[in-house]
Structure formats: C-alpha cells, structure tokens
Structure 1
Amino acid sequence: MQSQDVAPRPTPASGPVVDVEQAEAALVEHYPRLVRLAYLVLPPSLGRNRRVLTAHALTQRALPRGRTSAAVIPAQAKGRDGDPGYALVRLHVVRTALEAGLPLGRMAWPKRSQLPPLLPQVWGLRLFPRSGGADELALDQRLSALSGPARAAHVLRGLEKLSEDSVRRVLDAAGVADPAAAIAEAAKVPAPDALLDSPEFDPCSLHARPTDLMRRRQHMKAALAAAAAVAVCGALLGLPGGGWAPDGAAAPSYAENPAARAALDPARLTKTAATAWKTSARTDFSVWPARGDRTGDTALLRRALAVWARPGEAVRVSATPGTPSGAPAGPPQLLYAGDVDSAHVVLLYDGLRIARYAEPKDGTGAAALDFARVDGASGAEAEALVLGRADGNVRYLTAPWVTGAAERDLMKPASGAMDLNLTDGVAAPLAGSAQRTGACTSWNALQLTDGSGTRLLTDLGELIPAHLTTGRPSAPREASRTAALHSWAPFACSLASVRSQGVRSVNAWQFAQQALPDGSGSAGWVCTRADTWRGGGTRVLAQFHTPGGAYGAVAAKAEDSPACGARDPHVLAGVLWKSGTGAWYLLAAGSSDTASIRATGGIDGAAEGNLLTVRTERGARAGLKGVLADGRPISGLR
C-alpha cells in the first residue's frame, strides 16, 4: 500500500446538514455494521487483536464535532436508506480506516488513526473474532492482497450494497486519489457478498485469550522500559543461526483452539522408545523410534509443526495423489530430525500420513513440505522413507528392524547388489532412477534385509518407495529372488510410467508364454499392476517380451481395472507382431484359466486355450473376447 493511495481530503459535495445528535443516533443504531466495515477495510497486517481494537476506536471517533454537511451519497440498505447521519459517520469510518493503513512518513507527524488506539484497551487479553471456514480464510487472504482503497471499494460494494457510482463518490469523499483504479482492482476479487457478513469478520462477537502469561510475570518484576528492552534483545539473540523466526516459514496463525495448539507444541510430540519394535506385534511406522541428531532441537521442531499447520507462500508443498495436506489432528509422532546433506530435515507421522519438512542449513531460503499417505502400511511398506535427494542420489531412513541395505540394478539381475552402509538407520546415498531423464539403461532399486527375508523397493519420486513383488496376484512373492529378478529385468523401465502417482506396490506376473510362429523362440506375456495408497488410480500394463530383447513392449493398458489383481486374477491381451521374414501376426494370450480366445473386428480368428495366433496384415485392428474356464466372459485390455 502506497501513501499516494489516499489523497488529501477533498471538499465533499454539500448535502443535508447533520447535527451531532443525529450522527450519534445513526452510530449507535448501526454500530456493529460500522465496526465490521472498519475491520474489513483495515489492513490484516495489523494483526487481529489490534485490528479489532482499532476498528472500535475509529468507529467511536466518527462523530462530528458539531453540525456539519453530509456528502450527497445514498446510505443504501433498509434501515439506513436515506439517512444522512449514517452516510456521514460511514464516510468518517472509511476515511480513517484508509489513513490507518498508510505507512508512517519519515518527515511528517503520524495521523491519529495511524497510531495504536489509546481507547478502547483490554489489558492481559487478546481479542479476535470467531474463526470461519476455508471460504472466509480464502477471502481474508485475497482482501489482504488488495490496496486499502481497493479493499474499501470491495467492502462498500459487497457489504453496503452500494452501486459502482456510489462507491466512487464515497472513495472520492474519503480522499482516495484514484477511485476508478481502486474499483477496478476490487473487481478482481469475485467473492460472494454473503461472506462479508460472516462471524469471521464480526469484531463485536469476540473470543478472548490471555496474552503470554510467562512474559507478563517477567514484566512485573522490572520497570516497563527495561523489560521491553530485554524482551527485544532476547528475541533477537534467541533466533537460530539461519535467522528463522520462531514459526519459520509458516503463515500467520489463525488457530486458537486447544487441540490445534497441542498439535503444534514440540513438547507434546510422540517419541517411541528405541526398543519398542522388538516386543510389538506391529511392523509399521508407529514403532519407529525418533532418530537423528536434532531430536532435541525444539526450535527446528516448532518450525516444522508450524509450517505443517499453515505453510506460508514461500513453502514448496507437495502431496501424493489422494493425500490431505491439512494440519495434524493432534500431536504427531517424531520419526527423524537431523541434518541431511545441505538441509535440516524433520519426518513426522500422524497415523495417516508422513510429513517431511526440510529447510536449508544456511540462511532462510525456501522451505519444503512433502506429504505421503501411509494408512495401513506394514512390513515392507513401512521399511523405508526418503530423507532427501541431492545430485541425482536418494538417501533413505530405514526401519529399526532392517539389518542390511543394498543397491541393485533391476535391468542387470546377474550383476549382484552393492552394499549401502547403515548408520542409525540412515542408508548411504543410492543412485536414483525416478527423476532421471533420457534413455532408460538402468533402474536402481533398494534391497533391504530383515529377520524375515529380503525385499526390493523402488523410488518413484515420492516419500515412500514402492514395494516390488512378482507372481500370481492372489499369492505374490518378493521380487528379490533370482528367478523374479530375471522376470523383472525387461520391464523395469516401465516403472517410469507410474512416477508420482502415489504407488504402494507393483507386481509383475508372467501370465503366459507363447511360441512365436516363425520358430524364433518363445515370447513372454507379463502383466504389471501398480496399486496406490488411495485405492483408485490403479495402473495395469500387459507387456510382451520377445527373446533377446532388452525391453518389454506395452501391448495393452488400463486404469482403475480389477484385472491382474487379487480380486480378479485374469488378463487377456494381444499385439500385432512382425516376424523376421516380414510377415504380420496377431498374437494374443490370456491367463492359464482362459478356455478360449476369439478375435473380432478387422481380424477373424479363434482358438481353444489361452493362446491365439492369427496371420494378418500390417495396420489391422481387432478386438479380443475370451471365455474363462468357469464360463465367464473376459475382454482384452486396451
């Protein structure tokens, strides 16, 4: 807001003469509305307590000193229609509220409205209106982005129901230099008028909370001036090395209820005992102990909780699909707090989500807040979390029961695994594949060993790595076995198609093997199914792999399909294939319980059993229909 937004007071057009008694009657009758008007026009940067008190002070000072002329501006609305007394006091309220938002000049005395009000004052309490919903908060944020005159124009139009011409005359009488520009700027906020009547913006219906009781007790022990100096110096010296404020990159606080405050108190964080997992029947994040060298850094934990509750504009927020990003319902569990590469990192768990907060070690650059949904995670799905990414590498925090970690290239199953050193559960950096661009020549996976076996997880660009399995969907097995590794090799690069989709696990199932019609060997049919944490968004790929090929080819795909899953362990797919001699064939395969397959459309052919081979022409198009052994029909994936 610039000082030129409000010009020196013009001389309003002469209207009806209003005496003090008439103005007082209008002020008393419409006091709640006038205070609401002042509250909405005042800049939100004042803070809600001072904004409330200033709104009441400006309204109470709106009475004229004697008989005066009211501007020729209609009062509008039922009880105020044609009331010059109301129009006069409203003009005073708008003018002084705009003046209160002006910055203090270096060479000029401040106006009375720019100073904190002497009266009314409430000692020992903070006053604020009742909290509204998401719509009210969004409107308040949009209004705060407007200049003072534009905010006044929006409120006069929405709350007072004034026409555009009447709004222009009020702003002109209040001393606004360019009313037309203010009205044009206000038009960019198309908020429903009803929201302006919300309790969120009612400074006459208030909640009261005590001010800082400990600080008040300290201030009583010394003179006011000495205590203020100590408080200022202590606040400056108490800032962390990087210069973060107590709430870091968090937005201003609007949460006042006890549950919300408890969730933001570092002292109430849940910290599981280091040996709890050894005696618990659970193998999920609830039995992870708090690790890292900053679990006692109260300032860091406070910033992480504050940013989680209300991330500021400079915070980069990301969430896997289907993951809510709101504040925790209660104090979350601390999983990690420490230094990771060039950042301070905090990992928190609230029973539904993992939240990762990261801020730079040096300075107060942009903080990051990432969310991942983990409800129902257990076993392999709760064995690793991404701590950080740097220079194309990924660093993981592993479960306390993990005894070994290694890096393995899925595309080179015979090359063995490279051990990753574990230090208090933190694994050495692993070369990531999920964020890599260009040709896919390798795909690294995280191999973890615990007391029950060895598992494979892969990074898909999110906080939780996806669990890799193989075999029939009704009884999948770990993909870490030798045969499973060779089965996954041609299809590893297809994992790139499900990056950043909130994937929980990916199963690769070889549902058929088919002899090629030119006698060059047998092709494998593999179905890869990616299940998500949210249930929906499932991705199914039917892939075809010929002998000697490094990669599988996608023959068919589907989304949100039960095919190839535990509930419907059946699949049917086909592909047009060109032999070494240049001949074209339709090759189709179904799972082992497929009794017959028939081609429809542009290709005519049928076969008993789960395999179909039909000679055709290049570019031919066909559909597939099948019948299962129990008589149920099945359609081909597309």
Structure 2
Amino acid sequence: MAYFVLPGRGKRVYRLAIARRIVDSTSRGARDRSAAGHARRRTRVLRRALRPSRRLQIGLGPWLRALPARLPDPALTAALSRLDPHVRVAYVLRNVEGMPRYAVRDQLIELRVRDPWPVIRAAEAVEVPVPRRGDRFEAELLRPVRTRSVIPLAAAVFLTAALVGALLVTEREGAREASARGLGLVTAAPDAWTRGARSLDVWPARGDLAGDRAFGRRGAAVWAAEPGGRRPDSGVAQLLYAGTVDGVPLAVMRSGGRLARYASGRLDVAAIGADPSAPIALGGGRYLLSPWDARPETLAGGRLAASGGVTAPVRPGTGCGRGPLFHLGARTVGGLGGPRAAVLGYRPPVRRPGGPDRPAVLGRTARAFWKRLACAVPASSRPLSAATASHFWSGTLPHGGESADWTCTRVAYADGGAASFATLLGAENRATGACDVQRPVSGTWWRAASGRWYYVAAAGRGLAPHAEGVRGAATRDRLLVGRGTPGTAVTLTAR
C-alpha cells in the first residue's frame, strides 16, 4: 500500500525501499493486533507515504539490500503517479486493498480530507491497469532488514545541516540570484510559427510587457526557487505572455509539460499538456490564442474580438462558471477548470454508425446539453485537455418521475491518462459512477414521488441493462426498473 501511494518519481528500487522503511517505522504499534490498532498503523503509513520526508532517503542501504528478487510492474505506478495524491490513496484503498466505500471515506477523513466523496468518485472513475496478484508482497518473500547504528550518520547530518544553515543565513540573496541565473528565459521568434511544425515551442511572447526583461526575470527567479515537484522541467523557460490583465501585471511561462503564471508576487504551476492550439487562460475571462488561430467566434456564430492574440472577456453561460466558451476553427472549447480551455465533444443518442469522432463545432443542441452537463460533472483536480459527452439515453423516469438524460463523459487529462464517468441529468443531477463510452450502462437508486425507492439503470443503443441484486427488475426502452433497499450492492452489466 505504501509503495502504490508514494509519489511516482525515482527508480522502483528506491520507491520500494522507502515504502518498506515507512512500514517498518510504524512497527512500534504493531503489537496491537486489534482492528483499531491496525487502522491506526494504516493511517500512519498513509500519512508518511503521501508526504515522504527527504530523510527517508538517508541511510537507505539496509532496505535496498533487503529488496525482493522481483520488482513490481511499473505500469500501474506510472498511471497512479498522475493522479491527485488523495485520489491515489482512495484508488489504492478501493482497488488494491479492497476496502468498502464507507471505510475509504473514514480513512480519508483521518487524513484530513474535508470532502471525501468527490475524491472517492474521482478514484472510481479512474482507468488504470489492474495490478497483478504478484504485485502484493507477502511477508515470506521479503528478506530481513539488517540496520547498523545511525549515531555516526546522525552526527554528520547534524553538523552538515548546521553549516548549511549558516551559509543560507549569510547568503540568502546570493542564492536567490543564483536561482534566477539557473533558469534561462527564452522567447520564440515572432514568425517562428510560420515555419515548420506547429507546436507550443513556436508560440511567440505577447503582451504589453513582453519587452520588460526585468519583469520576466523576476517571474523566472520565483519559478526557479519553487520546490522540486513544481520546478521547471529543464533549465530553460519559454515566455508566452507578459502583460497587464485587469490592472495586474501577469507573466505566463512554460517549461516542458508545465505552465507557470506569475502575478502579484505569487506563482501558480499546473500541467499544460502537448496540445499546440488549446487557448491559455489569462484570467478575467480572457484567453491567449495560438498564433495561427486568429478568428475565434462566439457561440452564436459572431466574431469574438481579439487583440494581440488575446480574446475579449468571455465566460460560460452557466451558474458554476464551467461550460462552452467559444468556437475556434473546427472545434468548440470550454472552460472546465485548469490553465487551458478544453476541446468539447458530443455524441447524440442516435448517431450514424461508424461516424468519426473528430472534433467539430458544437451545434445548438450539443451546446445546450453541455451547459447542463458542465455543472453536473465533478470539478477535476487535474487539468483537462478534452471532454466528450456520450448522450446514450433519454426518457422519463418511472412512477411519475421527470424527464431525464443519461450521459457517459470521457475526459482526457493534460498530463496524460483519461477517465469516464456517468451522470444522470434531471431535476436533480447526480453522478452515477464509472462507465464505458463504447458500451455505456449506468444505474442508481432513485426515490419516486410516492416515497418508494427503485433501482433504475439505462444502457446505450443496441444494449440492454442487466442488474443482479434487485428484485422484480423489468426493462423497457433500455430502462431497467427494479426494487430493493438503497445502498444494496448491485452488479450492473450491458448485454
């Protein structure tokens, strides 16, 4: 469990050694064999694996020598490393440890997660490789850890830390200048995008402060001084924008797959992805366009004003601030959170067999659907690059229920990976778990106007839902209705 929860960086041997060291460090309470004692130890392990101290890497030799002969497959850990840390914990507890949802909720609260249910739902919507049974390390396969006295090492570390602390006190300003010098700030030629392949590398620097080198260097210095996980991917950052937005100077810089926004002395860092054309959010409803996308259009089809590659303020027409924004070439982009606008897609309930799924401008029906859906889907903790809504069922819920629509939404993350989740849109929108856009089916417990509870489920065209765990289930027009006790586990399939 500690191995899968640790941040996904470094070699597997060090990751596994640190994981076992974390578990060994919690052995003081291991004599308490009760369920409560086990739960307390699990919480200590998770806390240390979520935020591992750098001190765990010091004197790691005994744990490295005790590694098993075979290391785990890196596919799962590579996929988990791209998740938000608490979502990663919830995924491991649910899918690796096999804990029920209520127990995962209690554990997340112990880890000081204020609102655990969105985290659990996000974990259940994740699509990652299933870990093999052999990836769970049994005690008999582990070699004993033989440690030596750490007193000499501790003394050396103490003396070194004291010396480094003295140097930092006397040379703090020099260190900051060195950090700034360590990050070069470059700009692309104004016409670079007209030659060769189109990519983020050829975006020119725009904005009324693009020529203010002192401002750009201040932003680069702050970025260079960030902690390890937020620093630039290389020693060079590309300036994309430097200008005044709503009276506040703003610098937008990029390094590899990371984007940094510097304003009012603060720095925000997020994954940006590799899309060469996705607009970048500047704040205040303004977006920085790629140099080759010069004519954005409003959702009504009129021209959206843009100057110097920056759009006029435009916001989604929804109460939650998420949803379609504007048309850009042959696609419609929307604001779903994160540093860039996401490409929105829509699959209607009836579509031409074998039709392509290439990005296209959303029509009136698709835009209206996305305005309803955007506020119903949970906000993502990871930046999104694209989202496609597969509207697979539309009808009326039984026993006096309202009209409703079921959709399976697939999102692609800017830092890699994807997830799909279902949403029931009606008078009361609700998330209904993970789904498969190719064979969509989803279900939920629903309370009728009479006060009685029913289990309702729907499947995509050409499929029929089948539910095990409900009574008297009947299906009509691809809508299954059954009875039972809310919260009862139901196995739902599409046939």
> Structure 2: which amino acid aligns with 1:543?
T
How big is the shift at 1:493? 1.2
Seen in structure 2, the aligned counterparts of structure 1 residues 489 and 588 have a Cα distance that, compared at 3 Å, is same
Seen in structure 2, the aligned counterparts of structure 1 residues 481 and 194 have a Cα distance that, compared at 3 Å, is farther
Once the two structures are superposed, what CA deviation does each residue of 1:374-393 show, in whole Å capped at 9, x if it has no partner? 23223xxx3311223xxxx3
Q: Which residue number corresponds to residue 343 of structure 2? A: 467
Q: Which residue number corresponds to residue 337 of structure 1? A: 242
> Which SS does the other structure have where 2:433 is aligned?
strand
In structure 2, the gaps of 5 or more residues are 1-52, 56-152, 349-354
Once the two structures are superposed, what CA deviation does each residue of 1:519-552 show, in whole Å capped at 9, x if it has no partner? 988642111233322346x654322235xx5xx6
How big is the shift at 1:600? 2.5
Once the two structures are superposed, what CA deviation does each residue of 1:220-276 show, in whole Å capped at 9, x if it has no partner? xxxxxxxxxxxxxxxxxxxxxxxxxxxxxx97443898xx776434xxx33222232
Name the % identity.
28
> Which SS does the other structure have where 1:430 is aligned?
coil
User: 2: distance between equivalents of 1:587 and 1:557?
Assistant: 13
From the CA coordinates, give the structure whose radius of gyration is larger: 1
Maintained 8 Å contact 1:357/1:370: yes
2:305 aligned to 408, 417, 421, which one? 421
How big is the shift at 1:583? 6.4
Maintained 8 Å contact 1:456/1:478: no
User: 1: distance between equivalents of 2:154 and 2:302?
Assistant: 60
User: 2: distance between equivalents of 1:483 and 1:469?
Assistant: 12
Once the two structures are superposed, what CA deviation does each residue of 1:437-460 show, in whole Å capped at 9, x if it has no partner? xxx37755321323xx24222151
Maintained 8 Å contact 2:387/2:409: yes
Once the two structures are superposed, the pairs formed by residues 472-491 of structure 1 within 5 Å of their partners are 475=357, 477-478=359-360, 480-491=362-373
Aligned length: 337
> Which SS does the other structure have where 1:277 is aligned?
helix
1:504 aligned to 360, 378, 385, which one? 385
User: 2: distance between equivalents of 1:507 and 1:571?
Assistant: 13
The two structures have a TM-score, normalised by structure 1, of: 0.45
1:525 aligned to 406, 413, 418, which one? 406
User: 2: distance between equivalents of 1:531 and 1:274?
Assistant: 31
Maintained 8 Å contact 2:346/2:366: yes
User: 1: distance between equivalents of 2:457 and 2:164?
Assistant: 69
Once the two structures are superposed, what CA deviation does each residue of 1:128-164 show, in whole Å capped at 9, x if it has no partner? xxxxxx959xxxxxxxxxxxxxxxxxxxxxxxxxxxx
> Structure 2: which amino acid aligns with 1:571?
P
Q: Which residue number corresponds to residue 183 of structure 2? A: 264
Once the two structures are superposed, the pairs formed by residues 280-319 of structure 1 within 5 Å of their partners are 280-282=196-198, 284-310=199-225
In structure 1, the gaps of 5 or more residues are 1-133, 137-190, 207-249, 312-316, 318-322, 360-366, 409-415, 435-439, 629-638
Seen in structure 2, the aligned counterparts of structure 1 residues 200 and 580 have a Cα distance that, compared at 3 Å, is closer
User: 2: distance between equivalents of 1:467 and 1:423?
Assistant: 22
Maintained 8 Å contact 2:457/2:479: yes
Seen in structure 2, the aligned counterparts of structure 1 residues 374 and 605 have a Cα distance that, compared at 3 Å, is same
1:386 aligned to 281, 301, 313, which one? 281
Q: CA RMSD, aligned part only?
A: 4.1
Once the two structures are superposed, what CA deviation does each residue of 1:565-587 show, in whole Å capped at 9, x if it has no partner? 5xxx3332113445567765432
Between 1 and 2, higher relative CO (CA 8 Å, sep ≥ 6) is seen in: 2
> Which SS does the other structure have where 1:371 is aligned?
strand
> Structure 2: which amino acid aligns with 1:371?
V
2:456 aligned to 563, 578, 587, which one? 587
Q: Which residue number corresponds to residue 405 of structure 1? A: 296
Seen in structure 2, the aligned counterparts of structure 1 residues 385 and 556 have a Cα distance that, compared at 3 Å, is same
User: 2: distance between equivalents of 1:582 and 1:342?
Assistant: 55
Seen in structure 2, the aligned counterparts of structure 1 residues 251 and 338 have a Cα distance that, compared at 3 Å, is farther
Q: Which residue number corresponds to residue 626 of structure 1? A: 493
Maintained 8 Å contact 1:407/1:445: no
Once the two structures are superposed, the pairs formed by residues 128-139 of structure 1 within 5 Å of their partners are none
1:574 aligns with 2:469: no
1:279 aligned to 195, 198, 201, which one? 195
Once the two structures are superposed, the pairs formed by residues 85-484 of structure 1 within 5 Å of their partners are 193-198=155-160, 201=163, 252-254=173-175, 263-265=182-184, 269-282=185-198, 284-310=199-225, 324-359=229-264, 367-378=265-276, 382-388=277-283, 393-406=284-297, 408=299, 416=300, 420-431=304-315, 440=319, 443=322, 445-450=324-329, 453-460=330-337, 462-471=338-347, 475=357, 477-478=359-360, 480-484=362-366
Maintained 8 Å contact 1:333/1:348: yes
Maintained 8 Å contact 1:518/1:580: yes
The two structures have a TM-score, normalised by structure 2, of: 0.57
Q: Which residue number corresponds to residue 50 of structure 2? A: none
Maintained 8 Å contact 1:576/1:586: yes
Seen in structure 2, the aligned counterparts of structure 1 residues 419 and 441 have a Cα distance that, compared at 3 Å, is farther
> Structure 1: which amino acid aligns with 2:309?
G
How big is the shift at 1:202? 7.7
> Structure 2: which amino acid aligns with 1:575?
T
User: 2: distance between equivalents of 1:288 and 1:327?
Assistant: 18
Q: Which residue number corresponds to residue 144 of structure 1? A: none
Q: Which residue number corresponds to residue 123 of structure 1? A: none
Seen in structure 2, the aligned counterparts of structure 1 residues 286 and 200 have a Cα distance that, compared at 3 Å, is farther
Maintained 8 Å contact 1:508/1:528: yes
User: 2: distance between equivalents of 1:530 and 1:304?
Assistant: 32
1:605 aligns with 2:478: no
> Which SS does the other structure have where 1:575 is aligned?
strand
Q: Which residue number corresponds to residue 98 of structure 2? A: none
> Structure 1: which amino acid aligns with 2:234?
A
Seen in structure 2, the aligned counterparts of structure 1 residues 299 and 251 have a Cα distance that, compared at 3 Å, is farther
Maintained 8 Å contact 2:257/2:272: yes
Maintained 8 Å contact 1:422/1:428: yes
> Which SS does the other structure have where 1:301 is aligned?
helix
Maintained 8 Å contact 2:209/2:243: yes
User: 2: distance between equivalents of 1:625 and 1:454?
Assistant: 35
Q: Which residue number corresponds to residue 216 of structure 1? A: none
> Which SS does the other structure have where 1:527 is aligned?
strand
How big is the shift at 1:369? 0.6
How big is the shift at 1:417? 6.2
> Structure 2: which amino acid aligns with 1:457?
G
